[in-house]
Structure 1
Amino acid sequence: MDDTIPAVRFDTKIAVLIRDDLATWQRLNVTAFLVSGIGTAAPEVIGEPYADADGTGYLPMFRQPVLIFCGGKELLTAAHRRAVDRGLAVSVFTGDLFATGHDAANRAAVRGVPADKLDLVGLALYGPRNPVDKIVKGARMHP
């Protein structure tokens, strides 16, 4: 590891908020789906490709940490409302998506429910650090 590279404090934050009553496999699955949209919507969060000492190339990843939080259903509902009200980039995963099998069905399941009635099991946010902190206020770091 190169200790000469200075630490970076990012002006932005990537945060995932997962409902605390999900099974472990669901938490992992939801997190993976939620963060997949951030890199396409905000390409500046993606770093350069990786390579090992042998020259084998690897895909790029986020250039900054992804913080994973958890909380109850009411907390997710409130966080979703705050994020939408502030105009932040948000991805959502609802309970209905566990029963769908492809992207078009996922979008149809979300589109069929008004925002205030979504059965949110997870959401991911990207935006300026302070607003993101306010949106996830009350959540705890995922264990």
Structure 2
Amino acid sequence: MEKLLAEPYDRPIRFDTKVAVLLGEDLAGWQRLNVTGFLISGITASFPQLIGEPYQDADGVGYLAMLGQPVLVFEGSAQLIKQAHERALRRDLAMSIFTSDLFATGNDLDNRAAVAKISTGDLDLVGIAVHGPRNAVDRVVKGARMHP
């Protein structure tokens, strides 16, 4: 396998868009990781242009490509997540959601059924991920804290 040479960056890269995850502040550690993984998979599946090039180490071993831009992870109260959800909907931003009901399901079919039976305003959101223009995403997560 031909080795890829990393190009050094001599300037900061500024992205036109932003990816942000907002998690409930009361989630257990394992839940935060699980929810983040699921939420980011939704953004990645919907925006393949965000995926960078595959990785390769110095020995030529190849690894999967990942998102090519940073993912900012925030935390906040249930009320803040609800407000962020409403803001994202008003701005028509791409969003993935994770509700508390999804902790009790074990597959995609049951996950979608659990969400489908609840009206938008009654969703018990424990996390959302949003992708869109930087300023719009900043407004959606306004009031949230960076995840520790």
TM-score bin (small chain): over 0.9
User: Within 5 Å, which residues of 2 pair with 1:11-50?
Assistant: 11-50=16-55
Structure 2: distance between partners of 1:142 and 1:120: 17
Aligned-partner SS, 2:106: coil
Aligned-partner SS, 1:68: strand
Q: Does 1:137 align with 2:142?
A: yes
User: What residue identity is the alignment partner of 1:130?
Assistant: N
Gaps (5+ residues) in structure 2?
A: 1-5
User: What residue identity is the alignment partner of 1:116?
Assistant: G
Distance of aligned partners of 1:103 and 1:129 in 2 relative to their CA distance in 1, 3 Å threshold: same
Superposed CA deviations along residues 51-90 of structure 1, whole A, max 9, x for unmatched, are 1111110000111110000000000000001101111110
Superposed CA deviations along residues 9-28 of structure 1, whole A, max 9, x for unmatched, are 11110000000001111011
Q: Does 1:123 align with 2:99?
A: no
Question: What TM-score do you get using the length of structure 2 for normalisation?
Answer: 0.93
Report the RMSD for the aligned CA atoms in angstroms: 1.2
Gaps (5+ residues) in structure 1?
A: none
Structure 2: distance between partners of 1:4 and 1:68: 24
Aligned-partner SS, 1:7: coil
Distance of aligned partners of 1:55 and 1:94 in 2 relative to their CA distance in 1, 3 Å threshold: same
- Say how many residue pairs are matched: 143
Runs of 4+ displaced beyond 2 Å? 1-6
User: What residue identity is the alignment partner of 2:47?
Assistant: A
Given the alignment, which residue of 73, 83, 88 partners 1:78? 83
Correspondence for 1:51:
56
Correspondence for 2:119:
114
* Offset at residue 6 of structure 1 (A): 2.8
Question: What TM-score do you get using the length of structure 1 for normalisation?
Answer: 0.97
